[in-house]
């Protein structure tokens, strides 16, 4: 049950286990318990709402690379009427696109999206320490001592943080480009680290998430689908098997086995 609901993006496996303990999940009119299995035809309710869980068991995993421009927000609906990234994506017959991490409205570049909620949760989870690389343009002088401080760690309002790597990447005049790497997804972390040292970030662009690099020829507003090889690399990175479908009729009793994609 946790595996299928997490795959559908309803929550992480830990969240779903907590919902089971709290009595929020019901199967065929009975409160679900940890260890319960789903089988084809079961009626599942979450907080009283019927969940069509079987569709999540049948969808192949897809991952998109989207080149987010400045001015777009990573949300499904924006009360202020700003453009949202999800309106630019291809429609899914089953499930929905889930953003793997976020980019704020003033940050552009690589945004990964998937229809596999479990994969999304693992790629974002701090325990996997997945690299995020950014190209950042800084206004002002940056010396070796400042870079040393940023890589060793500085105190922010939500705890200590640091860059795993900082490399000079060129520039003219007062503006200089650097490539920085972080392994956590705290809100506005790259900007806040530079601003803690009184440096102004005049441009920020994510260029890599884990092994996935933003293609040079991918224009803003456009997307590209990760191929089979890329999917396998992502699954291997977070210790998952790449599944074509989960067979609901074989899940009861824990005997279900993943079917792998065929070429």
Q: What is the pLDDT of residues 15-66, one digit of tens each?
A: 899 999 999 999 999 999 998 988 888 999 999 999 988 887 777 899 999 9
Average pLDDT in the chain: 88
Catalytic, 227? Answer: no
DSSP class of residue 112 equals E
- The rounded distance, in Å, linking the Cα atoms of 157 and 56 is 39
pTM: 0.80
| Close Cβ partners of 20 (under 8 Å, ≥ 6 residues apart) | 1, 2, 32, 33, 34, 36
139 has a pLDDT exceeding 70:
yes
pLDDT at 262 over 60: no
β-pairing, 223-225 vs 63-68, is antiparallel
177-190 pLDDT, tens digit per residue, is 999 999 998 889 99
If residue 146 lies in a helix (H) or strand (E), which one and from where to where? helix 144-152
Looking at the chain, the whole-number percentage of residues with pLDDT higher than 70 is 92
Kindly name the residue from 78, 104, 165, 236 that is annotated as catalytic.
104
What is the maximum span of the chain, computed from C-alpha positions, in angstroms? 69
239 phi and psi, to 5 degrees? 70, 40
Domains and CATH numbers, the chain: 2-58+244-254 (3.10.290.10), 63-126+212-237 (3.30.2350.10), 131-209 (3.30.2350.10)
- Do residues 19 and 46 touch, judged by C-beta distance below 8 A? yes
Q: State how far the Cα of 150 lies from the Cα of 114, in Å rounded to an integer.
A: 32
State the angle between helix axes of 117-124 and 228-237 in degrees (0 to 180), rounded to the nearest 10: 60
pLDDT score of 117 more than 90: no
What per-residue confidence (pLDDT) applies to 242?
72
Q: Which residues contact 230 (CB under 8 A, 6 or more apart)?
A: 63, 211, 212
Which residue intervals of 72-143 are DSSP H helices?
A: 117-124
């Amino acid at each position: 049950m946790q595996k299928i609901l997490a795959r559908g993006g309803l929550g992480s496996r830990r969240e779903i286990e907590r919902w089971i303990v709290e009595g929020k999940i019901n199967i065929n009119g009975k409160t679900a318990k940890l260890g319960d299995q789903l089988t084809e035809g079961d009626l599942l309710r979450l907080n009283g709402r019927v969940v069509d869980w079987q569709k999540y068991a049948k969808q192949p995993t897809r991952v998109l690379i989207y080149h987010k421009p400045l001015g777009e927000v990573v949300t499904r609906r924006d009360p202020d009427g700003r453009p949202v990234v999800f309106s630019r994506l291809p429609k899914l017959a089953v499930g929905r696109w889930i953003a793997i991490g976020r980019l704020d409205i003033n940050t552009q570049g690589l945004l990964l999206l998937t229809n596999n909620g479990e994969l999304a949760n693992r790629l974002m989870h701090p325990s996997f320490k997945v690299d995020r690389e950014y190209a950042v343009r800084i206004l002002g002088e940056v010396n070796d001592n400042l870079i040393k401080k940023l890589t060793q760690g500085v105190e922010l309002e939500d705890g200590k943080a640091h860059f795993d790597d900082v490399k000079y990447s060129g520039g003219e005049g007062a503006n200089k480009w650097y490539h920085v790497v972080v392994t956590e997804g705290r809100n506005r972390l790259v900007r806040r680290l530079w601003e803690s040292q009184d440096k102004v970030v005049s441009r920020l662009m994510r260029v890599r998430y884990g092994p996935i690099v933003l293609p040079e020829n991918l224009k803003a507003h456009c997307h590209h689908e990760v191929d089979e090889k890329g999917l396998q690399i992502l699954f291997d990175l977070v210790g998952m098997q790449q599944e074509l479908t989960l067979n609901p009729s074989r899940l009861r009793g824990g005997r279900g086995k993943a079917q792998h994609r065929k070429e």
